[in-house]
Amino acid sequence: MLIREMKKEDVREVAQIEKSCFSQAWSEQAFFEELSNPYGKTLVAIVNDTVAGFINMRMIAGEIYINNIAVKEDMRRRGIGDRLLSETECLPEYTEFITLEVRKSNIAAISLYERRGFVKVGERKNFYERPQEDAVLMTKTKEKPERNDDK
């Protein structure tokens, strides 16, 4: 598995994964626009020369906000989502914390986020539509290195 930044030739596959996973999916045009967004980044997971999953985020002032993370249905339970999150946590822009929302009923995703160290910090009532559902707000804070002031 290779994790890399999305290229324009990946956009169609990314948009197809998005459409298959979310009721209010981003368009291909939205993903094309992400390629030139200075605050946006989309990483793709490549397996057997095809896009198996992706993560899209905003990076502002030492924080990362995950907009979407998705894996093709037939590629799930292979560690792809975990690897995408791991790569996101290693980005140099990530200095303070990462935040995301997830459907309250998406137990598999919530479990993955908890294993990666995300904690529930709130809920957004009726955040999702089709079907209407609350979102769980989750955050992961980056550990700060200990200082040694004895020098």
Residues with active-site annotation: 101, 113
Give the H/E segment covering residue 31: helix 28-34
Backbone angle region of 25, left / alpha / beta, with phi > 0 → left and psi within -120 to 50 → alpha: beta
Distances (CA, A) of 124 to 2, 52, 55: 34, 29, 21
Closest CA to 104 of 81, 120, 118, 86: 120
CA distances (Å), 30 to each of 40, 86, 123, 147, in order?
11, 24, 26, 43
Cα distances (angstroms) measured from residue 4 to each of 21, 39, 49, 78, 103? 21, 17, 12, 18, 27
